[in-house]
Amino acid sequence: MRGNLYIVSAPSGSGKTTLLQNLLRTFRDLRFSVSYTTRQPRGGEQNGVDYFFVDRPTFLGMVERGEFLEYAEYYGQLYGTARSFVEQQLEAGKDIILDIDVQGARQVKTKFEDAIAVFSLPPSFVELERRLRSRMLESDEAIRRRLDIAKGEILFYRDYDYIIVNDVLENSILLLESIVRCGSAVASHQKHRIEEIIASFGGTV
Amino acid sequence: MRGNLYIVSAPSGSGKTTLLQNLLRTFRDLRFSVSYTTRQPRGGEQNGVDYFFVDRPTFLGMVERGEFLEYAEYYGQLYGTARSFVEQQLEAGKDIILDIDVQGARQVKTKFEDAIAVFSLPPSFVELERRLRSRMLESDEAIRRRLDIAKGEILFYRDYDYIIVNDVLENSILLLESIVRCGSAVASHQKHRIEEIIASFGGTV
């Protein structure tokens, strides 16, 4: 049986990374697709684990050869998901999760309409601002830019199957786990198994 | 916020009752809609808890007054879901679950397209037959009739959002719980909350 493809998107600062880390600890079989990016590694980030770090000409070469399932420019840097990895894993029956932005999610949804897309939202603008400031990582200017981008991103919520309003972290973790668990029960993903059961009843689909 | 409406259907003998009992123990706020029926109570069944037991003229009067959200005839007996109870609970923001057959599910889905419908299937015909026989409650003839009905019912699987193949009970329990938990994250059910968040960002939907 083919694996399920999950997409998680969220405005920067809404707590997505923590959610994904928890999810991957719970579902050991879930494969995380490591993105390619032209941006520089930040402290502690490892090549091949957090991202594949490549230079711009390399990235653009991959674009030309159609090697990306989706790619997008964000803050002047390119980010992309390798098509071959995703397709191989799904064919092998593995579930995959993509951590991609709203532009990327839309591209993937047009290619894999069965993909299960989750959008994590902060409970309010004020709370998102508070979270970004509490990281104390960035200038006022950078934070304002992130908030502006978030304003645009949340308007894409209609592209998503599920919305997690990330208010109480434990609840959001449980909700994302439930969504992934449900994936294996989505009727349209189980045609093959259901056909077998119907055949065992002596029926035809 | 309006509550979610869940539908669970399954061929007789596939383990639905056990699944529902577990679910209602876990989600104390989930309201179970007690059906009306013209059939006689079986051992231990209580009026108002398992069913509202009414006679045929009473049932048909309710049909004429449009008091049923759905009703169906099954084994020569009538079964129906009271419209008023369901609508009041949903309006009050309560989640409701209906235990109804494939005919009823189709009727409800046409009236509440947001209803989340779950179909529980036995893993195979042989296994369903084994389960029905192991109950030792019924004659061969009655079991054969149940199996024939099941053959027809499983063909309705396309009406459902989720399919639970009830093979290992613990897995099925967890899956049904996840489906109900996910219900609160389904994007199309959260328009109001998302609009509020977008408004807090200074945007309009």
ipTM of the complex: 0.82
Q: What is the pTM of this model?
A: 0.86
pLDDT tops 70 at residue A204:
no
Mean pLDDT, residues A155-181 taken together: 94
Structural domain contains residue A159: yes
With pLDDT > 90 as the criterion, what percentage of chain B qualifies?
74
For residue A166, tell me if it sits in a domain: yes
By the 10 Å C-beta count (0-12 exposed, 13-18 middle, 19+ buried), B68 is classed as buried
In a domain, A39, yes or no: no
A67 inside domain: no
Q: How far apart are CA B181 and CA A97, in angstroms?
A: 20
Q: Does B191 touch chain A (CB under 8 A)?
A: no
Cross-chain Cβ contact B164/A185 below 8 Å = yes
A121 touches chain B (CB under 8 A): yes
- Chain B residues within 8 A of A197 when measuring between CB atoms: 121-125, 154, 165
A18: closest CA among A115, A147, A127, A131? Answer: A131
Residues in chain B: 205
The reply to whether A63 falls in a domain is no
Counting Cα atoms < 13 Å in the Cβ hemisphere of B112 gives 24
CB-based contact, A154 to chain B, within 8 Å: yes
Structural contact between residues A79 and A37, judged by C-beta atoms closer than 8 angstroms:
yes
Nearest-CA distance from B118 to chain A in Å?
9
Q: What is the CATH number for A151?
A: 3.40.50.300
B11 contact partners, CB below 8 Å, separation of at least 6 = B121, B122, B128, B146, B149, B150, B153, B154
Long-range contacts of A193-198, Cβ-Cβ distance < 8 Å, separation of 24 or more: A193/A1, A193/B165, A194/B121, A194/B154, A194/B157, A194/B163, A197/B121, A197/B122, A197/B123, A197/B124, A197/B125, A197/B154, A197/B165, A198/B154, A198/B155, A198/B157
Q: Degrees (nearest 5) of the Cα angle A47, A51, A55?
A: 80
Residue B200 in contact with partner chain A when CB distance is under 8 A: yes
pLDDT in tens, B30-74: 999 999 999 999 989 999 998 999 999 999 999 999 999 999 998
Provide the token pair at B197: 């968040």
Q: Is the pLDDT of residue A190 over 90?
A: no
The answer, for A130 touching chain B at a CB cutoff of 8 Å, is no
* Pairs across A and B, CB distance < 8 A: 114
Query: Residue B166, Cα to own-chain centre: how many angstroms?
Result: 15
> Is B168 part of a structural domain of the chain?
yes
Residue A66, domain member (yes or no): no
Residues B193, A151: C-beta atoms closer than 8 Å: no
Taking CB atoms and an 8 Å limit, are A187 and B163 in contact across chains?
yes
Could you tell me the pLDDT band of residue B204, with boundaries at 50, 70 and 90? low
Of B125, B158, B187, the CB nearest to A162: B187
Q: Express each pLDDT in B91-129 by its tens digit.
A: 999 999 999 999 999 999 999 989 999 999 999 999 999
- Considering chain B, what is the average pLDDT of its residues? 92
Query: Which amino acid is present at B107?
Result: Q
The pairing of beta strand A77-82 with beta strand A68-74: antiparallel
What domain range is B104 assigned to? 5-33+95-200
Is the CB of A125 less than 8 angstroms away from the CB of B150? no
Q: Is A65 helix (H, G, I), strand (E, B) or coil?
A: coil
Q: Please check the confidence at residue A188 and state whether its pLDDT lies above 90.
A: no
Indicate the SS3 state at residue B159: helix
A136 interface with B at CB cutoff 8 Å: no
Residue A131 has pLDDT above 80, yes or no: yes
Cβ–Cβ contact A42 with B under 8 A: no
> CB of A174 within 8 Å of any CB in chain B?
yes
Tell me, what's the pLDDT at B189? 80
pLDDT at A12 over 90: no
- Taking each continuous run of H as one helix and of E as one strand, the counts in chain B are 8, 9
pLDDT of residue B2: 86
The answer to whether residue A203 scores a pLDDT higher than 80 is no
DSSP code at position B6: E
Pairing relationship of beta strands A96-99 and B68-74 according to DSSP bridges: unpaired
As for how many domains chain B has, the answer is: 1
- Residue B45 within any structural domain of the chain: no
State pLDDT tens for residues B139-188.
899 899 999 999 999 989 999 999 999 999 999 999 999 999 998 898 88
State CA B27 to chain mean position distance. 15
- pLDDT above 80 for A89: yes
